[in-house]
Amino acid sequence: MRIRTIVLGFIATGLVSIGSGEAQQTALIDRDGNGVVELLAFGDSLTYGVGDDTPPGDYVEEITDSGYPRGYPIRVSAALGVPVLNSGVPGEILTSGGVTRFPAIVREGGFDTVLILEGANDANFRVDSGVYARSLQKMINVARAEGKGIVLLTIPSPTGSHSSLQPFTNAYSADMRELAYLNEIPLIDIESSFIAACPDYSTCSLFNLPEGLHPNVLGYDSMATAIASGLQR
């Protein structure tokens, strides 16, 4: 309990949880010495940008077309003026597909810091929080072994027709906060920023509704603003 209280205190002051040591270094540094700061956005459909074609207020019951990669990575790249590779895979489960795909992506290199946002599909399959945390720790270990920076992004809590997933995504986000503290790495709390922006979360204008799982244009704008601001800190 004490760990989570400390971490939430950091979040309240600026969306970013930072411990000591490595976490005190900015994510925007050239770790591989090639003269360019490059980021990798790793995750599922929330990283890929599914739902990003829809303005707020449109009725969206289901999203069946992934379209082209967009979402928060392209916005963060524009805001910070650094390349952000979109490595989101719609439908991917972190505890099976993500943790398996991650090592090869990291070892290919070509980036300095990886942003990890994944877990919505794990929630859909009711994956235990402990299993999620162990898988995420493996990914952190791999990134560190390869000399990469790591930033964890909490999961926007679903609403609408996907509100039943909330207990699972909330538990995964809590795991992220704890792992960020224990590993002394930055965390940007997207979950908290969405809750703060939507007093009536059941009608949150940041989501495609009533689908309630994927952000719309406004939601991805909000994610990118929080992430770019957090990275600059």
Instruction: Indicate left, alpha or beta for 127 from its phi (over 0: left) and psi (-120 to 50: alpha).
Output: beta
Domains: count for the chain: 1
pLDDT in the model for residue 16: 53
* Tokens describing residue 182: 């224990």
Q: What predicted TM-score, i.e. pTM, was given to this entire model?
A: 0.90
- Is the CB of residue 226 less than 8 Å from the CB of residue 193? yes
Sheet holding 16-17, edge to edge: 16-17, 187-188, 149-153, 113-117, 39-43, 84-88
Per-block mean pLDDT, blocks of 10 residues, the chain (233 long) = 32 42 67 92 98 94 90 97 96 97 93 97 97 98 96 98 97 98 97 96 97 97 97 88
Please list, residue by residue across 186-209, b when 16 or more beta carbons sit within 10 angstroms of its beta carbon and e when fewer do: bbbbbbbbbeeebeebeebebbbb
CATH code at position 34: 3.40.50.1110
Alpha carbon distance 102, 233 (integer Å) = 26
Q: In this predicted structure, what is the pLDDT of residue 182?
A: 97
Q: What value does the CA radius of gyration of the chain take, rounded to a whole number of Å? A: 16
8 A C-beta contact, residue 52 and residue 34: no
- Model pLDDT, residue 13: 32
Is the C-alpha dihedral spanning 128, 176, 73, 103 positive or negative? negative
Q: How far apart are CA 150 and CA 139, in angstroms?
A: 10
- What gap in Å lies between CA 171 and CA 123, rounded to an integer? 9
Q: What pLDDT does residue 25 have?
A: 55
Query: What distance in Å separates the CA atoms of residue 215 and residue 52, rounded to the nearest whole number?
Result: 7
Domain containing residue 149: 2-232
Q: Which of 53, 46, 188 is nearest to 123 (CA)?
A: 46
